[in-house]
Amino acid sequence: MELSRKKTMVVGLGESGLAVVHFLRERGAWVRVNDQRDREALGAAATEAEALGAELVLGGHPDSAFEDLDLVVVSPGVPPLPQLEQAEQRGVPVVSEVELASRFIDAPIVAITGTNGKSTVTTLIGEMSRRLGRPVFVGGNLGRPMIEAAGTDAGGANGLVIVELSSFQLERVSQMKAHVAILLNITPDHLDRYPSFEAYAAAKARIFERQDAEDFAILPADAPDLRELIVDGATVVLFDGRSGEVRVVDGVVTDTQSSLRVPVAELRIRGSHNVSNACAAVLAARLLGVRHDDIASVLSDFKGLAHRTQYVRSVDGVEYIDDSKATNVGAAIASIDGLRGPKGKIVLIAGGVDKGGSYQPLRQRMSEEGRGVVVLGEAASLLESAFADSPIEVRRATSMPDAVAHAAALARPGDTVLLAPACSSFDMFRSYAERGDHFQRAVETLGEQS
């Protein structure tokens, strides 16, 4: 794709949008930036884009800004816009940052998606792949925008590009070809954006676009319905369950195609859902050629990621776990399932910005495993309604320290206080990470550690 002297537009000046501005300007393109937010809200990003020579059209999406263009690049957070549809009708290519990046990357691409577990699996595969001695790029939705791999050693033919991809990033993928594409799971999420669960699943399934028999589509063995989402000719390989090539056998993570054996008890990541994530990462790493002893070494040493079923401390016989990244109901349930045990029950802290799904599955699981629920944020009333007449106590909090105090009062020795909000964080916090940090600080102010 030739970019020099092309008239381009970047819609959405978040982290990936700004990275695209850099990329386009470095290749001689004329760039216009469009964002719903104004200059004050964008802050340093607007200043940086302007310093690069981009024209800024801020505070809305005027039709005139979308005229006379050769290419439009859409950032992940931008919702469907009529102006984008009109540009496509005029024959203007409208692509995602991920799609644009893929056209300038020669390295094999390993792409990971799913409602839950993406970041853990992406990070694990990245650490395992570095044992190959090849330049490796790890990013996407996890951190660094994929466009930053273009033009680097990792993005060259001898490198390897490993990216976490959200449904938003996959919406406008058309030519990107993943050598290894992983779909970990799909549960209802982002229904405030998608008209149906089927539309959300279809966006996830775009990860398999353009794969052929030399490529691998990795899927969970216990979700046969997900195989219907693969329409191209990839080689399907399964993980976990009873028939996965990598699965747990008698308490041991076992690769049935190699001699890898790692007891689950030796893993440093918590929760049965993370054991499943480990199986997916092991399978992908083996397909990429990583030696089984290197895979086992990384798997045993991996401590997990911050705010993802992260142990904080124990107080008066109660464990406090930060899973602030559990931003949907499915993730919250997976966290509860991964932590349940014979000793105690779960006291859940939940709430934030509602994402349009039902809380009834969470009510059912907590009715089985829970002792109490503390709700806060914009979705507090919805959660209270969902848990009305349930067998567990529900309390409302006004802040995270208040929520932790309520949870501590509800918990008994042997219980677990779990922050798994089932909602996004943007009502009270700038990110799930900030929310988790507030939780951890509140926990640290509780009584003496036992």
What lies within 8 Å, CB to CB, of 148 at 6+ separation is: 19, 137, 139
Residue ranges of alpha helices (H) inside 216-351 are 272-287, 292-301, 329-339
Contact 417, 395 (CB under 8 A): no
Amino acid identity for residue 404 in this structure = V
- CA gap 18, 12 in Å, rounded: 8
| Burial profile 130-150: b = 16 or more Cβ within 10 angstroms, e = fewer | bbeebbbbbbbbbeebbbbbb
CA-nearest of 153, 143, 163 to 102 is: 163
pLDDT score, position 160? 98
Of 141, 185, 274, 328, catalytic: 141
What CATH number should be reported for the domain whose range is 310-444? Answer: 3.90.190.20
pLDDT score, position 303? 85
- CA gap 395, 405 in Å, rounded: 11
Confidence class of residue 341 from pLDDT cuts 50, 70 and 90? low
Average pLDDT over residues 314-324: 94
Q: CA angle at residue 234 from 149 to 125, to 5 degrees?
A: 40
Lowest mean pLDDT among 344-348, 399-403, 440-444, 445-449: 445-449
Confidence class of residue 449 from pLDDT cuts 50, 70 and 90? very low
Give the architecture (CATH level 2) of 7-92: 3-Layer(aba) Sandwich (3.40)
Of 118, 204, 273, 406, catalytic: 118
Residue 450 has pLDDT above 70, yes or no: no
pLDDT score, position 59? 96
Please tell me what DSSP assigns to residue 112: E
Residue 339 has pLDDT above 90, yes or no: no
Q: What is the pLDDT of residues 93-137, one digit of tens each?
A: 999 999 999 999 999 999 999 988 899 999 999 999 999 999 999
> Average per-residue pLDDT in the chain?
93
Rounded percentage of the chain residues whose pLDDT exceeds 90 = 79
Of 116, 179, 185, 190, catalytic: 190
Report the 3 state secondary structure along 14-71: CHHHHHHHHHHHHCCCEEEEEECCCHHHHCHHHHHHHHCCCEEEECCCCHHHHCCCCE
Domain spans, the chain: 7-92, 99-301, 310-444
Residue 292 has pLDDT above 80, yes or no: yes
Q: What is the pLDDT of residues 2-15, one digit of tens each?
A: 999 999 999 999 99
pLDDT score, position 115? 85
Q: Is-catalytic flag, 118?
A: yes
Q: Which residue has the higher pLDDT, 200 or 128?
A: 128
Q: Is-catalytic flag, 34?
A: no
Average pLDDT over residues 262-285: 92
The domain made up of 99-301 has a fold known as UDP-N-acetylmuramoyl-L-alanine:D-glutamate ligase (3.40.1190)
pLDDT score, position 272? 82
pLDDT score, position 342? 64
Q: Is-catalytic flag, 116?
A: no
- CA gap 286, 246 in Å, rounded: 10
Confidence class of residue 175 from pLDDT cuts 50, 70 and 90? very high
